[in-house]
Structure 1
Amino acid sequence: MRAILVVNPKATTTTGRGRDVLVRALRSEVDLTVEYTRRRGHAVALARAAARQGVDLVVTLGGDGTVNEVVNGLMTAGPGDTDEDRPTAEQLPALAAVPGGSTNVFARALGLPSQWPDAAGVILEGLRLGRVRTIGLGRADDRYFTFCAGLGLDAAVINRVERARRRGRVSTPALYLRSIVSQYLLGDERRHPTIRLERPGEITEGELATVIIQNTAPWTYVGDREVNPNPDASFDLGLDVLAMRRLRVQSTTRMVTQSLSRQPNPRGRQILRLHDLDEFSLVAERPQAFQLDGDYLGERNKVRFTSVAAALRVIC
């Protein structure tokens, strides 16, 4: 079996020694090539080239951003830009995600341990046993995502966190909490909700303040605690949506508390939840912060979301 290991050398929870251990372990099972990412977007090109060269397996060592880039490289390895040109899951290399970032939502949502040595052991066992799962993906316009997307408050918070990290701050739950409070108090989302959700053949839902889209559950983690605005979301179904009509203190606090519950079921007059959607669009009167898989991607006025069933094989 031919495999490529795509390493983000800036991954926060691994060391050079740890990477060497992983490489030796993988080479005991597969014919391995190792590539290091050098810039944002580099993993897209590496994965696309691997797929076109007929590699059997792509392994990532990094966080959710590295996984997202590799997935987009694999999914765009066909000869054209249409759905008909997209390779099937069986035609693409399988994916194995070794968690090396700060949160690693995708790997943990697949059931892998949060620590990379334990997760690597599970993946190696999966390779030996042929343990493969086919999952669906989400797509926002022309970019794929694995577990979540957001328009509004959550994306604006991610932007704040990324700016803080570029200034040398460490990504911690406390940093996210401070960023949430600052954005909530200073941002425009709660004062002037302008987002509309449009679905074919359905009534438009308007005046939404922020929208969370999930392709699986959980949405994210706070330490070991799952955060589940859409607890029924699944890799095996379409996309799930939670939108807040108004970001009032009481209703927003209740939604967060419900999402952190051991048996999450967010509900209330200010909450819109939709389950297992094939497609929809979000349209805003003014540009809104936008994120995919925890990476801030700037501002958007409109994004079309689609569910891509049985898109990719993963080792888990």
Structure 2
Amino acid sequence: MPTYKLRGIDVDFPFEAYDCQLVYMEKVIEALQKRSNALLESPTGTGKTLCLLCATLAWRKSLGGFSTGSSQRKSEFHGSQSDVGSSESQSSNHPTIVYTSRTHSQLRQVVQELRRSNYRPKMVVLGSREQLCIHEEVSLLRGKAQTNACRFLCRKRQKHSCTHFSRVADYMKSNPHIGDEPVDIEDLVNIGRKYGPCPYYVARELHKAVDILFAPYNYLIDREYRGSLNFEWHNSILIFDEAHNLESICADAASFDLSSGLLTACISEAKHCVDLAVGRREESNDKSGNPDNFAILRG
């Protein structure tokens, strides 16, 4: 496997690199060394995902060894009712790489590229309950109904608690090397079906002590998702791959829909408030509610 020295960093690359790939990887390393933002483009077919992975992991490796080969979590899995337990500090001061793309199918391709490289950081892919749940009843649900059912069954002392959730602690303790080799969503599901632990909570527990985490965009953009991740964000490397539609995704995350029926009801309520405020002022000289304010709201 060829090795290239770029800005003082030895980068292992699975093939003989083109000139454009060397330039791309050099710019990635420059941004990391300078702790700066970078907007990088490369034509289709130039292997930019592999370049991005190799350059970033080579830089990270230069800071110190990866977490593979040992379990470095400071706390064991306690079976919290929340999606992720209370915040714990990272086991080392090395930055965590958060690699995001638009869809899980794209992330699957990124994991395949990682397998082709010479780097083996401790890693995990985060997914939703819809993708990872293996409970025979909860897995059939969707959205909030699935989330609420999962949380209910994962509470302690429930008569019909989720057996997959209760097996996570023992599995993580017996398998500290999970994530040392690249694993995808399907791999986590297969582990759950074969050995019993909940794939969703295995991934959630594993993410606390990884060198690189793979997730869809919304895990960084959506405040609720972002708050559930256990990272020191000021010491993390954030990568948005295939980011050409990132602006629209940000707009969607910061937006919500109001139905015409709801708007009609709001207008009716505002009109009723205007009438009440006018009536109170005429009857008892009550000026606590200004009808002009409700009129503005109605407008």
* TM value normalised by structure 1: 0.30
Q: Which structure has more strand as a fraction of its residues?
A: 1
- TM-score normalised over the length of structure 2: 0.31
